[in-house]
Structure 1
Amino acid sequence: MTAAASLGGLGALTVLLRGLPGDFPAPVVVVQHGRRSPDEDRLATLLRRESALPVRTAVPGPPAPPEAGITVVPGGYHGVFDEAGRLGLVEDPTPRGGDALMTSAARAFRGGLIGIVLTGMLDDGAAGVRMVKRYGGRVLVQDPATARAPGMPSQAIGTGCVDFVLPVERIAPALVALTMAPGGAELLSVPTAPWARLPA
């Protein structure tokens, strides 16, 4: 599972992670771009106070399978999955971390991936959600009306590749239903919009 945020992301991520139970089974990889130091662990520290799940910051080194709980991609890096589903870090200061993370995760996990786009400016995540749907995954997006910065959610919705648009406080219950409720994933199946343009 991947989640991308930017401006206002701490508040949205706090609400999201607070709603996930301690036995939530899917690893969650979080990227929040902005002016963050590569060595700074502040985001993980703040989220750790609010989450029942373990929260850690990814560190440079050989790619490794994502661990249970929450993994935060540090500033100055993009989180990228290889074909074996191992997460690595690539130095890159550009604010396209959501696209890089979701695009690589879609190729690695295909229909098993859930991509989440939260508050943020510009359009990071829009290309990523197209790739998630291209490979059969699910996409949840924060309702722009509840976002501090509606750009990222609005651009993702505009792709036609979003399954659910929800207030941020409803995203965690939806994730629990999709991953933990028997038959939840099939029951909550949503067809892709007929006008959506998926990558080749």
Structure 2
Amino acid sequence: MFGDDSERELFFVHAVAEAQRQFAADNTNADALVRWGGALLELAHQRQQDEAVQLIKESIEKLNQALTIEPGHTDANWCIGNAHTSLGFLQQSKDAAVEEFTKARAVFQACVDKDPANETYRKALQMSDQAHVYYDEIQQQLQEAQAASKRSGGGRGGGKLASGAGGSGGEPDPLGLSDWVWDAAGWVLLVAAIGGIALMARGGSAAPAKG
């Protein structure tokens, strides 16, 4: 769907603006808030640590606002679960990460309870139980990469790193994770991305035309 990251980012910037317009026209439009929050979450995946964290928190705020309008909105809960999971992997403290993963699991459980046949919800719930294990493995990989970099005199080692999760001087990685992460935790980000695109499409938001 997207030719490169810049096209993807432009799509979700446009989606945020469209959702804002829809909500301004009708402040009871829970779907607009969900699309707004979902688009912010997608944009967070294109940003570095501090900005990513801020965008995720803004996303959660919009999604919770949607739930005050429509408490049973499953898409809102689903996006909140992905937001807390993403936020967990950005934490430098294990306790803080586990707190976010616990919040995510509770939300995914609520989604499964409402729609037990939904395989996506069930898979997310299953994998969320292993999130803390993935977090430990990711941190170990990052530490080993840093150590290898120091031994080689500051060169890169062990995959791409960003300043967000303890790396420094590496190539940009919006979530501060190494390439290795995609074998362990990429399911969360991939499903979140697919879900975000689906939410935008469901709301009739299209990517802006190229000039």
TM-score normalised by length of structure 1? 0.31
Higher helix share: 2
TM-score normalised by length of structure 2? 0.29
Higher strand share: 1
**Structure with greater Cα Rg:** 2
